[in-house]
Structure 1
Amino acid sequence: MEMETALKSGRGGRPSRSDSEVRVHAVLEVAKGKFLSQGYRETSLDSIARDAGVAKKTLYGHFGSKAGLFDAIVRTLTDAWVEELRKIVAKENGADAVLEAAALHLLDVGTRRDMIELYRLLLVESRRFPTLVDTYRGRCGKLTGMEPLTEYLSRAVGRRELELDDVDLAVEQFVHLVLGCVRSRMLLGRAPRPNVTSRRRIARQAVAIFLSGCAAGAESRAAQACRSA
């Protein structure tokens, strides 16, 4: 089997680093496909090992358990998201430009088929396997993967560009404003994925609404409600 052959490459039968990375990536792709199409409980390590072309003990060696394998999948997706978001907020092009780019990134990633299926799986399995949600949301319920945006908004508040009483809450509200309704319609099968033009329109409007409530000096009812909450 191709994956098992990689175990024997390199000196002394040990896999090279590149071989190991290729093997792990392939296993994660196989496992992700099975989890998203079949569900968490219904997917077995035996079936993943068979389709990935590795021994079951290899999965235990790399990931420790089925939960560890699922956690690795979510972390891989989150790490890629965070890295791109960090690049976006590092540009410091002004709140409107930064937030619009962040919103578009959120829509581009969050409306992908695999991400919709992952979110559906988490909703379904959260009661049976509550620890599966820990990688997506911390134990206190805080969204993970949004740290760069949290840090950016905190800096903007410090510069008095934005007025926010609770940055963590503002991040969560921003995410729901951008993605919430779109993702809900897709989860219910009532809408296809918005095209690029639609995603840009959604991002622009969401940012305009968000900034109308927290831009420095804003006197709208939304801003007043934010301060009095």
Structure 2
Amino acid sequence: MIMNAHALDETDYSEEITDQTGATPCSGKSAGRPRAADKEARQLALLQTAGRLFLEKGYSNVSLEMIAREAHVAVRTIYVKFGGKLGLLKAVIGNGRAHFFEDMQSMETDKRPMQQVLSDFSLRFLELLSQPKSNQLYRMVVGESRTSPELAETFYEAGPKRTREELARYFDRPEIRAQLRSEFSSDVLAFHLLNCVLGDGMCSLLFPQDTGMPLEVRQARVKQGLELFLHGVQQRAM
């Protein structure tokens, strides 16, 4: 259900990858194709560098040349793999999201009881949104969306929209749909669940914290939010 950092094409990092001394990573070694693990590590380093610069300087103040220089890659590499700065931002968001969901079983096939699946998802979702970097990203998007509307669209596509679509697909599973009131569409159910779990999420944006939400706080909020959600949408026993 998550976008992980994929291995790069074998030629992606063949140009201008140098360390601080100007030497290539393979200096002193025989030339050859980079291993998949090496390519994945280089892509992760690129995404981490881009994410840090976006948050430190703001999206509009960061150029691909700046990112390429700090990540020790060619600008062409970024264009080939991501299509440009917006594509790179989308990958940064996806990679950050993957960290919290990568070991969770796909909601399209998970056979656990619905409350367990939704609780697992909600705890991860709340942990992700309570991270200081997530708050920084959200505030950056809001602050720059008027002058860069494509930024807000990219953020929505990579984050909120994707989350709602994954939940909607879960609620559309026949055995799950049968447990829920038919007058609510899967899209409405997804939106309602996220709001029940998030609660007064704007407080974390207006008054950002230096650390993520403690586990016991997340557990209490998820328990209460799920009870509220299920009370309103589950089929009533006859």
1-structure distance, mates of 2:76, 2:126: 38
Instruction: Find the counterpart in structure 1 of residue 88 from structure 2.
Output: 69
Q: Say whether residues 1:215 and 2:234 are aligned partners.
A: yes
Change (3 A) 1:86 1:137: farther
Change (3 A) 1:24 1:142: closer
Residue 116 of structure 1: how far off its partner (Å): 1.7
2-structure distance, mates of 1:208, 1:167: 18
2-structure distance, mates of 1:21, 1:108: 25
Instruction: Determine helix, strand or coil for the equivalent of 1:144.
Output: helix
Instruction: Return the structure number with greater helix share.
Output: 1
Structure 1 unaligned spans of 5+: 220-229
Change (3 A) 1:143 1:157: farther
Q: Aligned to 1:92, which of 96, 101, 111?
A: 111
Structure 2 unaligned spans of 5+: 1-17
Q: Aligned to 1:124, which of 123, 129, 143?
A: 143
2-structure distance, mates of 1:12, 1:93: 49
Instruction: Find the counterpart in structure 2 of residue 145 from structure 1.
Output: 163
Instruction: Determine helix, strand or coil for the equivalent of 1:145.
Output: helix
Q: Percent of aligned positions with the same letter in both sequences?
A: 29
Matched to 2:87, the amino acid is G
Q: Aligned to 1:103, which of 78, 97, 122?
A: 122
1-structure distance, mates of 2:189, 2:233: 9
Normalised to the residue count of structure 1, the TM-score between the two structures is: 0.78
Normalised to the residue count of structure 2, the TM-score between the two structures is: 0.76
| Structure with higher RCO (Cα < 8 A, 6+ apart) | 2
Instruction: Find the counterpart in structure 2 of residue 28 from structure 1.
Output: 47
In the alignment, is the contact (CA less than 8 A) between 2:90 and 2:155 conserved in 1?
no
1-structure distance, mates of 2:209, 2:160: 28
Deviation track 1:89-135 (CA, whole Å, cap 9, x = no partner) reads 64433222222222111111121122222222222222222222334
In the alignment, is the contact (CA less than 8 A) between 2:90 and 2:154 conserved in 1?
yes
Q: CA RMSD in A?
A: 3.2
Change (3 A) 1:186 1:38: same
1-structure distance, mates of 2:35, 2:27: 9
In the alignment, is the contact (CA less than 8 A) between 2:180 and 2:235 conserved in 1?
yes
User: Where has structure 1 moved over 6 Å in runs of 4 or more?
Assistant: 7-11
Report the number of matched residues.
217
Q: Say whether residues 1:187 and 2:187 are aligned partners.
A: no
Q: Say whether residues 1:53 and 2:72 are aligned partners.
A: yes
Instruction: Find the counterpart in structure 2 of residue 170 from structure 1.
Output: 189
2-structure distance, mates of 1:80, 1:191: 20
Residue 84 of structure 1: how far off its partner (Å): 4.6
Matched to 1:33, the amino acid is R
